[in-house]
Amino acid sequence: MRNMVYNSFPLINEWGCSSVGRVSEWHSEGRGFDSLQLHFFRSFIQVMKKNRFPLLLLLLSFLFISPLIPDNGSIKDSKKKVEAFGRVKFKQNVPVKFLGRNEMKAYIGEWFEREYPRELVEKEALFIRLMGFVDGKPTDIREQRKRVLMENTGGVYNEKNGELLVLEEDGNTDSMNNSVIVHELRHAIQDQHLDLHKLLSERPPSDFDDRRLSLLAALEGDATFIMLQVSDFDSELLQSDYASDSLLSYSPTGNYAQLSSAPEIIKQQFIMPYLEGVKFIDAIFQKKKWDGISLVMRELPLSSEQILHPEKYLAKEKPLAVTIDSRPAGFTLVHAGVIGEFYLNILLKASGRYIDQAEGWGGDQFEIFSNAASGKTCLLWESVWDKEDYCNSFYQEFKRFIEKKFGFDFRQGKTKDIDFIAGNSGNDYFFIHKTGNRIFYVRSDDRTQINDFIRGGHYD
């Protein structure tokens, strides 16, 4: 996938502002805290740090308490802070509109109807089911994602019309959620310098594609990082581990039921861009300071591997292109994409803990085919790994996952000197072939297709 390089993201001090002096000024006045509240907040953070609370809890707790902190400034002051802390100026004014909860829900509902077409939803649902992210029963991911967003959104920046919308329960701007406003204002700056609509349109449309996920993580991570900079948040806390399952009750809107009950992949797609994104941005900042942030905005990440391993981004380790040569006879391609390291880890996630089972991922490609006459489907997935050891490790974990998920044991097979494993669970048939640092996987409800891949061999 192409990665556009944008050189129109200059540092603010290149435009004549003193970066150090300006930041010190904003740290000492007008930030929406009086001295007692600032002392309380810093003490709260230290308690959280001492007790090793994970990052997401810290972020959500901050968002949760921020409406209780009165805002002594104005929207204009918030814009100045975002410029000063983020080192980039607005090119034009950003209108800010406050909506009540019902108005915000209505806005998101209308956006979903307009921007999330049924055709894309059906493709994503098919991918999620066939790859094994959810059980075999149909999943209405459109309605689930819609409910999650409606119940957990505090602000929205619309990159198509440049409008910033903020949830405001009581209509009193003195108690607005300042952190949400700062976060969304940073998105406005990103848009004015980078054209977010264009950037998003250059990546695959599915949020469950690794290439789009990495872009979202960079953008949301940057906005969250600036929000925390403005709030004097301790950046050392950003690299801690987390277990998101135990943290959802701290949702800043208080409506966490929809998020906590959503399938893991939907839950993590919602959380990852903020959580892993800000950890990525902070890691880049620790290495390269503001030049590093500017670099990320000019040369946006291409994979979740780069997000999870910032050193690979700095080393310019790009994902490898994978081409699947096989084509099931009589079937039509209906969907394709890249799963990537993060979603593969979510696929294999066990015991509520995130473990990097897909370490050493180099690249992958999935393709889904269907036969209109028979209604049969066929998923092909091929991956390449940095080293054979990484490939072997993932292969064993993936094999165990498939066997446990679908309740069968693979059987060894061999045909024309090609080793493979295959098996079936009811009307679902599975085939895996590993060679060197590559894995080729097939799932189909058409046994004929599996036998074609076996090329005349037998496994039962």
Report yes or no: 387 and 428 within 8 Å, Cβ to Cβ.
no
More confident residue, 353 or 327: 327
The alpha carbon of 289 is separated from its chain's Cα centroid by a whole number of angstroms, namely 23
Report yes or no: 205 and 1 within 8 Å, Cβ to Cβ.
no
Report yes or no: 353 and 241 within 8 Å, Cβ to Cβ.
no
Report yes or no: 443 and 410 within 8 Å, Cβ to Cβ.
no
343-402 pLDDT tens trace = 999 999 865 566 899 999 999 999 999 999 999 999 999 999 999 999 999 999 999 999
Alpha-carbon span 126 to 335, nearest angstrom = 9
Alpha-carbon span 441 to 445, nearest angstrom = 14
What is residue 16's predicted lDDT score, i.e. its pLDDT? Answer: 29
Q: Are strands 155-158 and 163-167 parallel, antiparallel or unpaired?
A: antiparallel
Which two structure tokens, joined as six digits, stand for 181? 């406003």
More confident residue, 329 or 249: 329
**Residue ranges in 299-408 assigned as alpha helix (H):** 304-308, 310-314, 340-348, 388-406
Which has the closest alpha carbon to 294: 193, 217, 214?
A: 193
Report yes or no: 26 and 85 within 8 Å, Cβ to Cβ.
yes
The pTM assigned to this predicted structure is 0.82
Strand partners, 96: 164
46-88 pLDDT tens trace = 444 444 344 444 444 444 444 433 344 578 889 999 999 999 9
Helix 340-348 / helix 264-298 crossing angle, nearest 10 deg: 160
274-313 pLDDT tens trace = 999 999 999 999 999 999 999 999 999 999 999 999 999 9
Residues 6+ apart with CB under 8 A from 441: 379, 380, 381, 382, 398, 430, 431, 432
In the block, tokens 């814009």 appear at: 79
Report yes or no: 89 and 83 within 8 Å, Cβ to Cβ.
yes
Which has the closest alpha carbon to 263: 406, 139, 400?
A: 139
**Residue ranges in 54-117 assigned as alpha helix (H):** 55-65, 75-86, 101-115
* pLDDT band for position 215 (cuts 50, 70, 90): very high
Alpha-carbon span 317 to 456, nearest angstrom = 40
Which two structure tokens, joined as six digits, stand for 224? 């969250």
Which two structure tokens, joined as six digits, stand for 14? 């290149």
Which two structure tokens, joined as six digits, stand for 146? 């819609």
One-letter amino acid identity for 376?
A: K
One-letter amino acid identity for 220?
A: E
Model confidence at 1: pLDDT above 60:
no
Helix, strand, coil shares, percent, the chain, to 5: 50, 15, 35
Give all domains of the chain, ordered by start, each with its CATH number: 12-314 (no CATH), 332-454 (3.40.1000)
What is residue 262's predicted lDDT score, i.e. its pLDDT? Answer: 79
Model confidence at 29: pLDDT above 60:
no
